[in-house]
Copies of this chain bind each other. A is one copy, B any other.
């Protein structure tokens, strides 16, 4: 199974250089990621978008476009209290934002609109990574996007795409298959 992970930083470098973090620029960035996910998913490539996408409206717009092509959109909300994110954050950005040193920081000094009806919610502060991964894989199986397998037999590409490090660092993941 072909899988592409569209990392937020990589997309900003390759498709969105020059865009900032205003609502308008964030929306444009997400629309571009959505467009690429659409090209991939309608050709049978599972596209995993790991971008910070704080605005509900543009997320739903991308969902509609993907689904209009007959592909599936699986929104995975990786939920975690800001306090825990600040403790984990290797770049120290959350602490700076909480101290008022960073403006426009999603979830602290800028809005973060929680998904209203995500297909999967991961509570990354209270779940083991293996448990969270299994929740996602079970949802993909339930929707016939992955063949049903035993819990310990999941295929390597999906596992490596959703490895422990990714899940720890992400605050918000969308899986588009």
Contact = CB atoms under 8 A, between A and B. Distances in A.
Interface stretch (A13-21, A87-95, A131-139, A164-172): A13-21
Interface of A: 2, 4, 14-15, 17-18, 28, 31-32, 35-36, 39-40, 43-45
A68 to B, nearest CB: 14
B18 A35 contact: no
A14 B43 contact: no
Contacts of A17: 28
Nearest to A2: B43
Contact of A15 (B2, B15, B40): B15
Contacts of A15: 15, 32, 35-36
Contact of A44 (B2, B31, B35): B2
A146 B36 CA distance: 25
Contact of A39 (B28, B36, B44): B36
B14 A32 contact: yes
A15 to B, nearest CB: 5
Contacts of A4: 39, 43
Nearest to A35: B14
A35 B40 CA distance: 12
Contacts of A44: 2
Closest 10 CB pairs of A and B: A2-B43, A43-B45, A14-B35, A15-B32, A4-B39, A36-B36, A15-B15, A39-B40, A2-B44, A4-B43
Contacts of A43: 2, 4, 40, 43, 45
